[in-house]
Amino acid sequence: MSKLYLVPTPIGNLEDITLRAIRILKEVDFILAEDTRTSGKLLKHFEIETQMHSHHMHNEHKSVKGVVQRIQNGETCALISDAGTPAISDPGFLLTRSCVENNIEVDCLPGATAFVPALVNSGLPNDKFVFEGFLPVKKGRQTRLLLLAEETRTIIFYESPHKLVKTLGHFVEYFGGDRRVSVSRELTKMFEETIRGSATEVLDYYTAKPPKGEIVIIVDGKSLK
């Protein structure tokens, strides 16, 4: 039966892919990948020979209609991102919405998502949390930080290594230097690390030791006391 599969891929350690994900990627008619070069290495490792096409933030608006038509014509499609679950700070929402609007079945497999292990091992409250993804680079950044300064739930951010120190500095400025922060870097990879402490302490650490790799920041919510 024709449908769209959203298939999570490992965020680092290839052993984190599921047996079901491998099977689906082998069985579908075609795969949409954020970066075919990156995904090509993954497919080669697991001996997956399914036809692959590029589907990323710069072309997804144009490609969605054609993909929907192919599925409506009886084909099955799997969407993958470079790492993690599609549509979580990666392309996927537009295609999923279009499939839903056209009564096409969408099946999202469970699997790797970077913020879940970062949240769980942060030591910060995880019964209630809000996922912010990447902060605005310029316009709207201050407004967003002022709003989040009053957020009482644990807050999750994604950040690039070259912007981490700047962002931590903004946390000190808007949230206060004593706000608890946990930074997880290179999750599931050889040089994985998690640094926990006050916003000031974590800022000092990464100012002295510039980070590399993918980063998830967990910030404690504002205390009600």
pLDDT(75) > 80: yes
pLDDT digits (tens, 9 = 90+) for 42-70: 999 999 999 999 998 788 888 899 999 99
Going by CATH, does the domain composed of 115-219 fall within 3.30.1360.20?
no
pLDDT at 56: 83
The residues spanned by each domain of the chain are 4-108, 115-219
pLDDT(100) > 90: yes
Residue 9, C-beta contacts closer than 8 angstroms, at least 6 positions apart: 17, 21, 39, 42, 80, 81, 82, 83, 84, 111, 112
pLDDT digits (tens, 9 = 90+) for 111-148: 999 999 999 999 999 999 999 999 998 889 999 999 99
pTM, full prediction: 0.92
For the domain spanning 4-108, the CATH number is 3.40.1010.10
pLDDT at 220: 98
